[in-house]
Amino acid sequence: MGNSLSEFLRARKEQSSATTVDWNRKRDQWLEAVRGLYLRVENMLRADREAGVVEVRTREVPVTEQFVGTYDAPLLELRVGMDEVQFLPKGVTVVGAEGRVDLRGDRNTVTLLWEGGDRWTVVLGRVPELEAASLSEDSLRDALQKVMLPVL
Amino acid sequence: MEAFDAHTEPDLSSVLAWAEFQRAALAEAQSEILKSLRYGHTPSPWFARAFRGQTWEEVEAHFQAQRRRLDLLTMFELLAMTEAILRLDLQDRVHTRRKDSLSRRFRELHKVRPRGIRLKEHLLQLMEEEGVVTGKALNDFRRLLRLRHWLAHGRHWNPKLGRSYTPGDVYDISRRFLEAAGLTRS
């Protein structure tokens, strides 16, 4: 190839700089989107919350990702009777989406993907084909059913 | 060669060549997906759909699992190919009526058992008795048969292999065994 080791490494560094993503900006936009998601979920649950059916709590958790490093992100917890589910922020470096939050319960975990703006998709299944729906009260209900233990 | 034709010239090197190609294809696929994460773009549509929402670590773990499965399949194919070489040699010794003592013993065995000649209990046993393959080359290959058994029967138990194997190990042991038996072409 005729490149010395130094030439090779310099060319790689230049390429890397030219295509660098502003990870800090991506992280900040992502955190704003996560807060927006939680507000939206809380709005969906407002009446049930006021009726004492569901308790809602948020706290900060550390998230560590390739390229972004470690940062604090909000986690949302819902408690319905003996069931507890968590909206866990996974991060901004995900394939084919702008970010990901996992909805985790005692039975299973469902993925929520941020598509940008205020658009969120709920991934309800992957096998045999990817089954996804825009976030709505219906898709949130389906997701909660998937992650919570079935009643006796 | 059609998909279900008999292998008339089984060859261990072709298995390794196939495995190397598969590894390279996996590396390219992994590279495309991880590059898309690093540089913030979407990979090709098939990958975007198949890996949608996965993190860097999950993509790495997926490909690690793929490579592991490829290694197991490669080892199985190498052992199956070695058996094919031995069985073609058996057929040759039986039908061409060679005069050496192993060929005579194979013909006697074939008369008694036209079907159901077993690799370990019959072929390897006779090869050892006639001094065709002995010592380390034979023992190392015999120990591989436990791996072959596990791979062939769906890997549904924890095998006691005494050591771990890579495709390279299986190739080396099988090739040394075949060389000792005078069954390699080059």
ipTM of the complex: 0.83
Residues of B with CB below 8 A from A16's CB? none
Residues of A with CB below 8 A from B56's CB? 65-66, 93
The structural domain count of chain B equals 1
Q: Is the peptide bond before B10 cis (omega within 30 degrees of 0)?
A: no
Cβ separation B39–A19 shorter than 8 A: yes
- Using the predicted structure, report yes or no on whether residue A144 has a pLDDT greater than 90: yes
Kindly give the confidence (pLDDT) of every residue in chain B, 186 residues in length, as a single tens digit, with 9 standing for 90 and above.
578 888 888 999 999 999 999 999 999 999 999 999 998 888 999 999 899 999 999 999 999 999 999 999 999 999 999 999 999 999 999 999 889 999 999 999 999 999 999 999 999 999 999 999 999 999 999 999 999 999 999 999 999 999 999 999 999 999 999 999 999 864
Among the partner residues B37, B42, B49, nearest to A93 by beta-carbon distance: B37
- Using the predicted structure, report yes or no on whether residue A2 has a pLDDT greater than 80: no
Structural domain contains residue B5:
no
Structural domain contains residue B1:
no
Nearest chain A residue to B51, by CA: A95
Beta carbons of A145 and A125 less than 8 angstroms apart: no
How far is residue A42's CA from residue A39's CA, in Å, rounded to a whole number? 5
Rounded to the nearest integer, the mean pLDDT of chain B is: 94
Buried b (16+ CB within 10 A) or exposed e, B73-103: bbbbbbbbbbbbbbebbbeebbeeeeeeebb
Report the SS3 class of residue B186: coil
Contacts of B137 (CB under 8 A, 6+ apart): B176, B177, B179, B180
- Using the predicted structure, report yes or no on whether residue A1 has a pLDDT greater than 60: no
Identify any residues that bridge with A87 across adjacent strands, giving them in sequence order: A76, A103
Structural domain contains residue A152:
no
Beta carbons of A120 and A113 less than 8 angstroms apart: yes
Q: Tell me what percent of the residues of chain A surpass a pLDDT of 70.
A: 97
How far is residue B22's CA from residue B28's CA, in Å, rounded to a whole number? 10
**Mean pLDDT score, A84-103:** 96
Band (pLDDT 50/70/90 cuts) for residue A124 is: confident
Size of interface A-B (CB pairs under 8 A): 51
Using alpha carbons, select from A136, A115, A133 the residue that is nearest to residue A123.
Answer: A133
Cβ separation A93–B56 shorter than 8 A: yes
Output the pLDDT for position B55: 95
Among the partner residues B36, B38, B52, nearest to A67 by beta-carbon distance: B38
Structural domain contains residue A120:
yes
Instruction: Please write the tens of the pLDDT for every residue from A70-79.
Output: 999 999 999 9
Domain housing B27 = 12-180
The structural domain count of chain A equals 1
Using alpha carbons, select from A23, A39, A109 the residue that is nearest to residue A71.
Answer: A23
Residues of A with CB below 8 A from B47's CB? 95
Identify any residues that bridge with A77 across adjacent strands, giving them in sequence order: A57, A86
Instruction: Determine the angle formed by the axes of helices B12-39 and B56-95, rounding to 10 degrees.
Output: 170
Output the pLDDT for position B1: 59
Contacts of B126 (CB under 8 A, 6+ apart): B102, B105, B106, B109
Strand segments (E) across B67-179: none
Structural domain contains residue B99:
yes
Centre a 10 Å sphere on the Cβ of residue B141 and count the other Cβ atoms it contains.
25
How far is residue A10's CA from residue A4's CA, in Å, rounded to a whole number? 10
C-alpha B64: how far from its chain's center? 20
Instruction: Please write the tens of the pLDDT for every residue from A23-47.
Output: 999 999 999 999 999 999 999 999 9
- Using the predicted structure, report yes or no on whether residue A86 has a pLDDT greater than 80: yes
Band (pLDDT 50/70/90 cuts) for residue A131 is: confident
Chain A residues whose C-beta sits inside 8 Å of any chain B C-beta: 19, 21, 26, 65-67, 90-91, 93-97, 100, 111, 113, 123, 130
Structural domain contains residue B186:
no
Cβ separation B43–A95 shorter than 8 A: yes
CA atoms within 13 A on the CB side of B112: 8
Domain housing A89 = 5-147
Task: Compute the nearest-CA separation of B134 from chain A (Å).
Answer: 49
The pTM (predicted TM-score) of the whole model is 0.86
- Report phi then psi at B104, rounded to 5: -65, -45
Structural domain contains residue A32:
yes
Cβ separation B40–A130 shorter than 8 A: no
Rounded to the nearest integer, the mean pLDDT of chain A is: 92
Task: Compute the nearest-CA separation of A73 from chain B (Å).
Answer: 16
Cβ separation A97–B38 shorter than 8 A: no
Structural domain contains residue B69:
yes
Residues of A with CB below 8 A from B59's CB? 95
- pLDDT higher at A117 or A151: A117
Structural domain contains residue B140:
yes
Structural domain contains residue A68:
yes
Cβ separation A111–B33 shorter than 8 A: no
